Amino acid sequence: MKKYKIGSFEFDLFAILLLVLAVMAFLLRIYNVGYLTLWVDEYVHVNTARHFPEQSLFTNDNNGILLTMFIVPFFKLFGVSEFWARFPSVVFGTLLVPLVYLFAKRYFNRSVGLLSAALVTCSTYLVFWSRISRNYAIFAFFFLLFLYLLGRAINVDGGFQERKSRLLNYLKWQPRYLWMALAVFVLSLMSHQLTFLAVYGVLFYYLLLFVHSLVSRKARFLSLEAVISYLFLAVSMVVFVPAIQELIKPVLLLFLPEPVVVWVLPNLTRLSELWTTAPYETFNIYFDVLRSDYTPIYMLGFAGFIASIARYRKAGYYLTAIFAGLFLVMSFVFREPSLPRYLMYIYPLFLIAIALAVDTIVFLLEKRFKSFKLFKPVILAVAVIGATGFFPTIRKSVRLMKNTEHGELVPRALSSFYFPDWKSSLAKVKQHLGENDLLISTMPAYVDFYLGRNSYQFRQMLYDTGQHNYVNYPVDTVQPNAYSTEGLIKLMDSADKGWLMADYYFYNVMTDPETREYVIHNMKFEYDMSNRYVSIFSWDKSQPFTPNAIVEFLHEEYPYSNEYQINLPEVKSDMAVVLEMEGITADDQILLLVNGKAVSVRREYGELFQRNGDSKSRQNYMIPVPAKAFKEGANGFQIILAKPGGSFPKGCFAAYRIRLFVLK
């Protein structure tokens, strides 16, 4: 191992830089990691770990059970919290840095290893998924470890030595590493079922080697590469030829559970439909990940795969086959569901390819300019610093680390996660919560975690994966539920006091419009408990209640109300539009649109402001509008947020009613 000297001080530049990168990776992933409210998918692991050993670790969704097993001891030792729920992901996301160095160093060289580690350290995509209590960071780690050991096992690095066994000499496999690879394969499979796609990558690797031997006219048709290529052809026929698939499916069902068989054998009818309606949709989702992380240099990755084959042949084919093979299989065969996070387990291979492209440029410069070798350590250090300090991705990663806002944290190309702020809203509800209060929520998991109470699920629609469409939620006529307007009414009738806690599901297709309107007209909107992400409604039969005509809760992510129509005869006199609103603190924060023309809303229009200077409380705002703004027939009224952001307490306000009066 080459050492460098400064005076009498001797050091290993690579080891020091790798240590710096590992520390940096840990800080990017650990700092402020417990701030965000847990997202719904995180409860797959969190709730199972919370209730262990009273409940089994094996649930209906065992996707990522290995991560759940790692979370359990942290919960038992340090208590249940967002921080400890996400800590194992932080650890495995950090360990990915030295592992990618080890992989790239083994199969390519140390420079590629260090540059790859730098890219992994600062990748916004990898940082984000290492800060979430989901199984993608642990999956990426164990899958790469599996690929490392498998490469040693099947002689990708050319380290095989002749054995007494003729079979081993034919295969050129190393049993010790093969058993280790199989053990890690199980751990990877316990992290995510997509691990099984590695089979396609390995088959594709041998196919590339066989094609290479054909092109170079060195092909042996009974060589290992040839035999496995024939096997690849056979597997392809089973997967893609309907008649053969129908024959093999009953046989597989004898040995494997049906969900596994469904995974292994793709639905050819559905694939045909997708190829007709959206042939490249899934491909584009995954390709957007590549170009949205290291945007300025992502094209180097494709050059890096070519360079890897030209410079390292077998290792290059291995890297290319695993990444390209799995990328294409996921894009066009096993393409549902398709989300940005599913690429994470092979994404480090793409970063290695980028590093290979950079290293190849340095390599070519060395060949062209002999004196360039003298500066290689300096060039390497500069490249690492450049990879970690001057690209937009590092700035995004630092912002992610320092973030104190909920919502959409990274570009949608890198994540479909959206974090609503349940934590602060439910903390306020808890202060007013009675022992016998009935709870309804769009997300019962949040209520269970933050309030320690069960709640009825508020949902009237669901996505049917068989029909690939939204359908009515199956209504239970026996058990109380909020799966329909009628069910919601019965729930409210059964309790004197209760709460509905709702996030974006209340406003999207999951909620039936009729049920939404019933909530708006018959429940009190709790402005002070709500925020831009979570709306809190309540009812209390012991308190007087004036039904709302509308409930519009506007903020910078939802700055426009619905447009409301009021039919009028010919208007000859100036009128006042009366808005009942809450949360206004300054002039011109909002605008009223009357038939598309803007009218400013000022604080002095408020009845309470005129009396005692209070503009924030719920009150009527009487806004004068000239007669010419109206027309005979339908008139449109809309409220819009004019000054988003810091001009509002909580960045939002609520509107409850629109009325018209003739000004005298």
The answer to whether residue 622 scores a pLDDT higher than 90 is: yes
Q: How many C-beta atoms surround the C-beta of residue 186 within 10 A?
A: 13
**Residue 550 backbone dihedrals phi, psi, to 5 degrees:** -145, 165
The mean pLDDT value for 603-628 works out to 92
The mean pLDDT value for 137-164 works out to 92
Q: Is 531 helix (H, G, I), strand (E, B) or coil?
A: coil
The answer to whether residue 465 scores a pLDDT higher than 80 is: no
Q: According to the model, what pLDDT value does residue 120 have?
A: 96
The full length of the chain comes to 664
Element (H, E) at 121: helix 110-122
Per the CB < 8 A criterion, the answer to whether 463 and 469 are in contact is yes
Query: Class of 554-662 per CATH?
Result: mainly beta
What does DSSP say about strands 575-582 and 564-568: parallel, antiparallel, or unpaired? unpaired
DSSP code at position 482: B
Per the model's pLDDT, the better-predicted residue between 417 and 210 turns out to be 210
The answer to whether residue 222 scores a pLDDT higher than 60 is: yes
Q: How many C-beta atoms surround the C-beta of residue 313 within 10 A?
A: 15
The answer to whether residue 31 scores a pLDDT higher than 90 is: yes
State the average pLDDT for the chain.
Answer: 88
pLDDT digits (tens, 9 = 90+) for 243-283: 888 888 888 888 777 777 777 788 888 888 888 899 999 99
Q: According to the model, what pLDDT value does residue 372 have?
A: 60
CA gap 76, 531 in Å, rounded:
32
pLDDT digits (tens, 9 = 90+) for 127-144: 999 999 999 999 999 999
452: left (phi over 0), alpha (psi -120 to 50) or beta: left
The answer to whether residue 496 scores a pLDDT higher than 90 is: yes
Q: Kindly provide the residue ranges of all beta strands, DSSP E only, lying in 389-525, ordered along the sequence.
A: 438-441, 456-457, 461-464, 469-472, 497-502, 524-525
**Residue 142 backbone dihedrals phi, psi, to 5 degrees:** -70, -30
Does the bond joining 392 to the residue before it have cis omega, within 30 degrees of 0? Answer: no
Highest mean pLDDT among 176-190, 215-229, 454-468: 176-190
**What share of the chain in percent tops pLDDT 90?**
60
The mean pLDDT value for 176-197 works out to 94
Report the range of poorest mean pLDDT among 216-230, 243-257, 592-606.
Answer: 243-257
Q: Is 9 helix (H, G, I), strand (E, B) or coil?
A: strand
Report the range of poorest mean pLDDT among 403-417, 504-518, 530-544.
Answer: 403-417
Highest mean pLDDT among 158-162, 282-286, 415-419: 282-286
CA gap 259, 206 in Å, rounded:
29
Residues 6+ apart with CB under 8 A from 92: 130, 137, 138, 140, 141
The answer to whether residue 184 scores a pLDDT higher than 80 is: yes
Q: According to the model, what pLDDT value does residue 547 have?
A: 85
The mean pLDDT value for 171-177 works out to 89
Confidence of residue 650 (pLDDT cuts 50, 70, 90): very low
CA gap 210, 201 in Å, rounded:
14
The amino acid at 654: A
The mean pLDDT value for 524-552 works out to 91
Q: What would the DSSP string read from start to end of 532-550?
A: SS-EEEEEETTS--PPPS-
CA gap 168, 160 in Å, rounded:
10
pLDDT digits (tens, 9 = 90+) for 68-102: 999 999 999 999 999 999 999 999 999 999 999 99
The ranges assigned to domains in the chain are 4-166+174-200+251-402, 422-548, 554-662
β-bridge mates for residue 590, sequence order: 641
Q: Is the pTM of this model over 0.85?
A: yes
The answer to whether residue 51 scores a pLDDT higher than 80 is: yes
The mean pLDDT value for 542-570 works out to 88
Q: According to the model, what pLDDT value does residue 647 have?
A: 42
pLDDT digits (tens, 9 = 90+) for 333-386: 988 888 999 999 999 999 999 999 989 988 888 787 766 665 566 666 666 656
pLDDT digits (tens, 9 = 90+) for 391-449: 678 888 888 888 888 888 899 999 988 899 999 999 999 999 999 999 999 999 999 99
Confidence of residue 450 (pLDDT cuts 50, 70, 90): very high
What does DSSP say about strands 633-641 and 619-625: parallel, antiparallel, or unpaired? unpaired
Report the range of poorest mean pLDDT among 62-66, 205-209, 313-317.
Answer: 62-66
Report the range of poorest mean pLDDT among 206-220, 236-250, 451-465.
Answer: 236-250
Terminal-residue alpha carbon distance, the chain: 92
CA gap 411, 432 in Å, rounded:
37
Q: According to the model, what pLDDT value does residue 371 have?
A: 62
